[in-house]
Chain A
Amino acid sequence: MSAPVAPFPQVEHQRAVFADGLALDCGAAIRPLAVAWRGYGRLNAARSNAVLVCHALTGDQYVAETHPVTGRPGWWETIIGPGKPLDTDRYFVLCANVLGGCMGSTGPREEMTDAEGRGLGRPWGTDFPSITIRDMVRAQKRLTDHLGITRLLGVVGGSMGGMQVLEWAATYPEAVFAAAPIATAAHHSAQNIAFHEVGRAAIHADPDWKGGRYWEDGRVPAQGLSVARMVAHITYLSEQALTRKFGRRLRGASALTFLEDVFEVESYLRHQGSTFVRRFDANSYLTITRAMDYFDLAAEHGGDLANAFRGTATRFFVASFSSDWLFPTRESRALVRALNAAAANVSFVEFATDKGHDAFLLEEPEFHRALGGFLAGCADRLGV
């Protein structure tokens, strides 16, 4: 489908390195641990105005600035900035590349290390240990500790970012004043795991993947990773949104010729796939999708989701979108009911939209107003 791709040039990412490493849920440990991160706004003297943004599967820490690798705007610039819902005049907004990611944090693309932290002169690749959402959160906690932030004003994130928000609130309740899990769920559903497996199978089936050792000859499994992205992208949109954007329109033709016709939706997906492979690492994709599949917050707490939040003082704002079929409203509602059962302080809105799962990243004024008001109310309470 595509010729060998030219990856974007590597850039230096700002990172915090922890020499003592991190013990993982799987029993392995990695050392050192590197956490690449970006901050916007100013941390106040009391260090009480920090809002941590957790990114989704293929996001990264460049949340509110032009991306140094792709040159594109930050993925959540719509809501982060002066005067915006995550107001950088008031809050210190930070975002870290997840553990297992490929934008500077420890992950399959970084140099493999031994138990003493010595570099082995090759990337981790598929030797990178299995990680969990909780491991990602522990890595972020190391960063906030390092910055001297004992309690975050807010932790905000959508999709896999929302899973991290929930894990933060469950694992470090005293460190989270307000939590906003958006378009997410307390576990990954069978259907979601199934879609991920299609993506992983596409990568595995690409001869350039070479059992994960594609880095040996400087190639990337572009076809497989691109197909994985195309499948995933369909799950991020709703049928209505696809119809509205593309319908049955053909590219460069007004009627079917039965020759080389390409529907606009096909060309859009191919574009999504081919740009993705330039910036994302296939082994990272395998590692992170697995972490999402493993996520089951209730199972971590004896099978009862309410146990994850028993006695919590954290204030929650749960948001879902009506046309999101990847993380449907019923998952958010189940979460809200568990929070109610735990007598937690929780707000919840299902926003009406036809934009599907992606709505959390797009222009949704009602959602932005609610999120901004929720955070501002919490900040008022804390005197920030």
Chain B
Amino acid sequence: MKILVCEDDFMMIKAIEHKLQREGYEVEVANDGRVASDKIRNSDFDLIITDLLMPFTGGLELINMTRNELNKTTPIIVLSKVGNEETIIEAFKLGADDYLTKPFSPNELSIRVKRFLLKR
């Protein structure tokens, strides 16, 4: 199971990566939106977790690209801070499947991820 984590904050990456690796998933990291879009274009993931604010290409653009340009159905979980409802709704409209608030709860992350991957 390969998961792409699109996030530019070192600690956040570390934390997500750590949790997912402990659950036994393979994790790939993209530090900015440009790297993320290249990776999504060129390989297939079982799940994408993406931040909304990132250098070069934001999370919304990334979702739009995945769904409407590449026509990929890879599940996407959006990471967002609390109180950002409008953007989250926008993300859902573009094709995101779920969202997590920052700071995230490790158990919640684990359960939400598992839910998508079991579905597949």
Say whether A associates with B.
no
Enumerate chain A interface residues (CB-CB to B < 8 A): none
